[in-house]
Amino acid sequence: MLDVCLLGTGGTMPLPGRWLTSLVLRCNGRSLLIDAGEGTQIAARAAGWSFKNLDTICLTHLHADHTAGLPGLLLTMGNMERTEPVTLVGPRGTARLLEAVKVIAPELAFPVWPIELAEGEEQTIPLGDWELTAFPVRHTVPCLGYRVEVPRRGKFDPQRALAAGIPKPLWKRLQQGECVDGYTPDQVLGPPRPGIRMVYATDTRPVKPLYRAARGADLLICEGMYGEQDKLSKAKETCHMTFREAARIARESGAKELWLTHFSPSLSRPEDFLGEAAAVFPGAKLGVPGRTVTLRFPE
C-alpha cells in the first residue's frame, strides 16, 4: 500500500491555512517528499507526519515556492541525529541549488546526493519498494512531473514450487523476490499483478507526457492554479492550468481520482469553483493541507 499526504497546496506565496506546495508519500516505512515549499515542516507536523525515515526528496522545479523549505528541513533532519544519505532529485540546476543551501546549512551530519535529470525525456529511477518516473512538463523554467508506482509481484504458486523440487524452507524468500540456492522467483511466481500508481504535476500546461503518465492512475494530484475559466489566457501566459483543464486530463487519461492543488493566492475560495472541475470529472476534490489517503493494491 501507499500512504499519500498533501502537505501544502499554495502557489507563489503562503497564506494563512494554506502552505506552499509539498507532498509526502510513505511505503513500507520509508518516505519520499515531492517539493519543499515554505512551511513544509509546519504542515507535516500538523498532519502528524515525521521526516525521520525520509530517503528521497524530489523537486519539480527550482522556483522558490517549491524549494524554500529545503534548508530548514535538512537542518531539522540533522538535528534528529540522522546519518543515512538523502537523495535529492530534480531538474538541471539541482546540484547548484544544493550548494546554495549548504551556505546556511553547512554542517549536515548526513550526505545529500543530487541527481539531475535530463530535459525533455522520461526517466525512471528504481527506489527499492517503489519506482519513481520523472517526465517533462511545460513551465517557464525546466520542470518535471513525477509518477510513483508500487509494483506487485505475481501470485505465489505452490504447485510450481513442488514441481520444480524447491525445498519448502526457500519458498518465502523466493516469494519475496530473492534468488536462493540457484532458484529464481520466476519459477514460483505468476505474472506481475496490477500495482499502485500516483501522479503529481504542478506548474504546467496540459502536455502529452502528463496525459501518458496519468493513464490509469489511482490518484492524480494536479495543479489548478485558477478556478475561474476566464483566467484561461492568464494560465496560458504563465504556463499554468485551470480547474477544467486539470479535470480534462483526469478524464481523458482514465485516472480514478483527482485532487486539485497549487492554487493562486488570488483564488481565496477554491471551493467556489470546484463545480468547474466536477462538470468535467465528477468526484474531483480540492487539495487541502493534510488531505491523506491510503492507496491499496486492487484485489
Q: Which residue has the cell 507535516?
A: 44
User: How far apart are the C-alpha atoms of 255 and 235, rounded to whole Å?
Assistant: 23
DSSP assignment, residue 254? T
Strands 30-34 and 22-27: antiparallel
Cβ proximity of 292 and 4 under 8 Å: yes
Residues identified as active-site:
65
Name the grid cell of 31: 518516505
Amino acid in the structure at residue 91: P
User: How far apart are the C-alpha atoms of 288 and 262, rounded to whole Å?
Assistant: 10
User: How far apart are the C-alpha atoms of 58 and 209, rounded to whole Å?
Assistant: 18
User: How far apart are the C-alpha atoms of 57 and 55, rounded to whole Å?
Assistant: 7
Strands 86-90 and 291-295: unpaired
User: How far apart are the C-alpha atoms of 6 and 292, rounded to whole Å?
Assistant: 6
Amino acid in the structure at residue 114: P
What is the CA angle 255-261-265, rounded to 5? 155
Distances (CA, A) of 94 to 8, 123, 232: 21, 16, 31
